[in-house]
Amino acid sequence: MDIRTLCLGLLTFGEATGYEIKKAFQDRMSMVYDASFSSIYPSLNRLTKEGLVSCRAESQSRRPDRKVYSITPAGREEFLKEIHNAPAADKFRSDFLATLMFSHLLQPGNVSRLIDNQIMDYRQKKDELSQGCGMKQSQSEQFLCGFGVTMYQAAIEYLEQNRHLIEAPAPVRAPAKQSVK
């Protein structure tokens, strides 16, 4: 699902500013998607031009007008059509795991520190999610929160139980000999 479609989806919960949509990505969807202002605002502008979202300005004292976005009936129809399509396969991206792909080039102490830091980060994220799960408004948000807690716990356990596989220095192998013809 792309940012455009997710913006439509978030607007099904009610009208919102671009800032509030960004906050919803952080608070409600952090385990699923990350979106920046530089992707949200162009999506909202395009959705407005397409007639899938309406925008009205609200004046504020001593500040520029704020834009409040609402989903239109055509936008709701478009969103419902999109969520009835089969979702694309999940993709997982991790700079941490990409770095560990080359752990054989790092000193064992550096590998251990990377793993320790990742475990601490996962624990913190798991604790933050756990504390907020009971405050989620909808069953779908509670489900996603619980899923996130479970995923972090599984990652922590995996790292703790399998870190020895990459912390031990790998034996140096001689390069394969190539025959000369």
* Residue 175: inside a domain: no
Residue-wise pLDDT for 17-74, tens only, equals: 999 999 988 877 777 788 888 899 999 999 999 999 999 998 888 888 899 999 999 9
What CATH number does the domain containing 61 carry?
1.10.10.10
Whether residue 79 is found in the same domain as residue 108: no
Answer yes or no: are the C-beta atoms of 24 and 16 closer than 8 Å: yes
State the average pLDDT for the chain: 89
Range of the domain at 147: 95-167
CA distance 123 to 86: 33
- Of 28, 59, 83, the residue at which a domain comes to its end is 83
Kindly report which listed range (11-25, 28-42, 111-125, 142-156) carries the lowest average pLDDT score. 28-42
Helix (H, G, I), strand (E, B) or coil at 126: helix
* Residue 37: inside a domain: yes
Give the mean pLDDT of 92-111. 91
Its pTM stands at: 0.74
* Residue 176: inside a domain: no
If pLDDT is split at 50, 70 and 90, which confidence band does 171 have? Answer: low
Whether residue 103 is found in the same domain as residue 60: no
* Residue 172: inside a domain: no
Residue carrying structure tokens 């356990």: 157
- Of 83, 103, 120, the residue at which a domain comes to its end is 83
38 Cβ partners below 8 Å, 6+ apart? none
Closest CA to 6 of 17, 19, 24, 15: 24
Whether residue 103 is found in the same domain as residue 65: no
What total of structural domains would you count in the chain?
A: 2
* Residue 73: inside a domain: yes
pLDDT at 177: 64
* Residue 180: inside a domain: no
* Residue 159: inside a domain: yes
